[in-house]
Amino acid sequence: MRIRPRQQILDVWQALIAACWDGEWKWDGEPGLGSISDSEQLLCLLYPATEIDTFSLDRPDDMADDVRSVLAPLGGQTRIGAVVVELLEQYLLRNTNADGTPNFAGGNYLTGTDDGGPTTEQRKIEVVDAYSMSTTLCLAGLGFVRVFDGWARAEARTELIDRIRDLRAGLSSRLTAAMTGLVRSFVVNTATASSEAGQNMLRMLNQRDEPDRAVVDSVARALERIRARLRSDVTLGQTRDTELADDGRLFECGWSWGIVEGAAEVDFIDGPIAKQQGLAVARPYLYFTVIALDGINDLISARTRELDLLNPEQVRLAEALRLRWDLTQNYWSTVARFGESDWPLEDIPWRTSDGEESDYFSLVVSAVLIQDLVRRTATDDDLTRAIDIFEELARRGRVVRRAMKNDPAAELHKTGVRLNLWGSEKVDNGSVLRWNVSDFAPVLLKRILQAAQLSGNIGARDRLMELAKSAMDHLDARTLRQGNAAGLWDDPHVLFGPGTAPVEEPSWYMTERVVECLVTADKTFREAPLTSPPMVNRAVELLNEAEHLLNQEMLNVSIEQSSEDRVALDRVEEHLEQARQLVARRQAGTAFVLAADALRDLYRLSYARQDASRSAYL
């Protein structure tokens, strides 16, 4: 199906209102235990509204007609912004502890093992997903109230102005805590080449069966600058076992599932999150690394700078996170493409340092690679090889292929990949908790669309967009078809069986990720279209011929502006000027058509004049 981000976002909003609004907002999670679900639910509304200008809700007088129509159940256009303020107030109230500190509990997203759990106390464990989602939501909320406050003041809404002031303080406090949690969840893990973790890393990196010593030396050279910056510039996240001074040790960096055991305190931040003892094992998880990178990407965006959303403490935290964001992307991009021939990333599935392997891990490493390529100039070879990987993952994940009966790939979408949260067993002497990751399809679609933004090759971009359409077909088939949440996600059993009762309750985890894809699609489509050099040359050739013939025709017409021929030539001249501008804007195809039409009109004028001349002698 064609991806139509504007219409599809409006459809999601309409389904969202039907599922959550009956005069007041219906939250799904328990207060104090549903911070992630609450963030995702609210981001389905706020993320498009703050990332896409034509969806903005913070300027009631400029609200688009279709947006106002879809959100009409919330009230008139002047009421919608006040409802958003109320929802953000409820969000803060639901996710603030009795002592006034922000709460980032994993809640129902944490699952137990066969041994039992989670216990009541374990459900309160804080996770990186909550920090990252809260970062994105708080930034969206702060951006919204920054602009909406101006409207409220212009309308002299005193009560609303006071509420916005308090809301801004609450969102800012939560943002500071979320950023602190992200800083303290970053980790650098080192391992000797002979250890089990080291051997697992070498099996991925050594694509040419070279001696371990040679590979370790090559890796050390490739990562020399990253190692040096981690050693000199990054202190938080390094544990007692981190020995970056030894070039003979392999290392990896990223985010663990929560605040790392032994993580240094953040001495310039008040509040328990800056000092609390961490639980998480000092090893990066690929899933939580990508989640953290996405949140930090929103934090360091141009919009955040332009709206001046951060206070001095947050600016300091943002710089610390920017450094970790940069080093982590650089690290995983380097190891994904390590070597002189085959990339380790092309050896699907990716194996992590703890020996786990999955197609999903290959996908998230690809996601980091694409994010790294977004921030720098990507080569055609990089993108072409990335496309091959995406196509292979789409086939293996049954996104573009029909699933077989009892297909193992179906578990990627139904139960997902189970991540053991080592360290969680320390709470209540419980069992090791798990985190289920089932967002394979939307992660794939989002990264395909980001790659399409980068591509400067028409053939490559066409492959990416066709793959994106197929992934959208897959996700569209999984929308809920009945109940109040019809039009939201997710019912994977439609595609993967077994036959069960239709799902009627929405998954905010999946719905929010699909909304992210649609926002990314909007940004992709707003980029200038690709144009091949031959098409540019042909358009310029036609323009040159048309302008020369136009000059000739101008010699043969009356200077009277009202003459029929002069009016026609003026119109041709206007079209040629438009065509010139289109070539400069990389719309050579459209310029080609305009130039061809101009040539046709010039020929008709010339032919008519010559025919008139012949008739005069008859």
**Residue type (1 letter), 323:** L
pLDDT tens digits for 379-410?
777 888 899 999 999 999 999 998 888 888 99
Q: For position 129, what pLDDT does the model report?
A: 97
Residues 455 and 591 in one domain: no
Residues 324 and 416 in one domain: yes
Nearest residue to 36 via CA among 101, 100, 96, 108: 108
Q: For position 156, what pLDDT does the model report?
A: 86
Residues 571 and 497 in one domain: no
pLDDT tens digits for 310-367?
999 999 999 999 999 999 999 999 999 998 888 999 999 999 999 999 999 999 999 9
Domains identified in the chain, total number? 2
Residue 501 pLDDT level (bands cut at 50, 70, 90): low
DSSP string, 292-330: HHHHHHHHTSHHHHHTT---HHHHHHHHHHHHHHHHHHH
- Residue in the structure block whose two tokens are 């070498």: 202
Domain-located, residue 537? no
Residues 489 and 573 in one domain: no
Q: For position 375, what pLDDT does the model report?
A: 72
Mean pLDDT of 99-120: 87
Residues 498 and 590 in one domain: no
- C-alpha distances (whole Å) from 140 to each of 91, 256, 295 are 13, 25, 11
Residues 406 and 554 in one domain: no
Residues 6 or more apart in contact with residue 608 via CB below 8 angstroms: none
Q: For position 248, what pLDDT does the model report?
A: 87
Q: For position 168, what pLDDT does the model report?
A: 97
DSSP string, 42-100: HHHHHHHHHH-GGG--S-GGG--HHHHHHTGGG-SHHHHHHHHHHHHHHHHHHTB-TTS
248 close to 220: Cβ distance less than 8 angstroms: yes
366 close to 393: Cβ distance less than 8 angstroms: yes
Residues 505 and 598 in one domain: no
Q: How far is 324 from 288, CA to CA, in rounded Å?
A: 14
The dihedral through the CA atoms of 146, 152, 154, 156 has a sign that is negative
Domain-located, residue 275? yes
| Start-to-end C-alpha separation, the chain | 62
Q: What is the CATH number of the domain that holds 387?
A: 1.50.10
Q: For position 569, what pLDDT does the model report?
A: 85
% residues pLDDT > 90 (the chain): 66
Predicted confidence (pLDDT) at residue 561 exceeds the cutoff of 60: no
Out of 525, 558, 588, a domain closes at: 525
Residues 79 and 141 in one domain: yes
Domain-located, residue 244? no
Domain-located, residue 455? yes
Q: What is the mean pLDDT of the chain?
A: 90
- Residue in the structure block whose two tokens are 């256009």: 77
Q: Which domain holds residue 570?
A: 550-616
Q: How far is 596 from 535, CA to CA, in rounded Å?
A: 13
Domain-located, residue 329? yes
pLDDT tens digits for 186-233?
999 999 999 999 999 999 999 888 999 999 999 999 999 999 999 888
pTM as predicted: 0.89
Residues 472 and 602 in one domain: no
Residues 40 and 95 in one domain: yes
Predicted confidence (pLDDT) at residue 450 exceeds the cutoff of 80: yes
Q: For position 500, what pLDDT does the model report?
A: 59
Domain-located, residue 216? no
Domain-located, residue 227? no
**Residue type (1 letter), 175:** L
pLDDT tens digits for 544-558?
888 888 888 887 766
- C-alpha distances (whole Å) from 3 to each of 78, 476, 489, 518, 522 are 31, 10, 17, 8, 9
Predicted confidence (pLDDT) at residue 183 exceeds the cutoff of 60: yes
Q: How far is 344 from 107, CA to CA, in rounded Å?
A: 36
State CA 170 to chain mean position distance.
26
Residues 521 and 563 in one domain: no
Q: For position 378, what pLDDT does the model report?
A: 63
Domain-located, residue 208? no
Q: How far is 602 from 608, CA to CA, in rounded Å?
A: 10
Residues 356 and 406 in one domain: yes
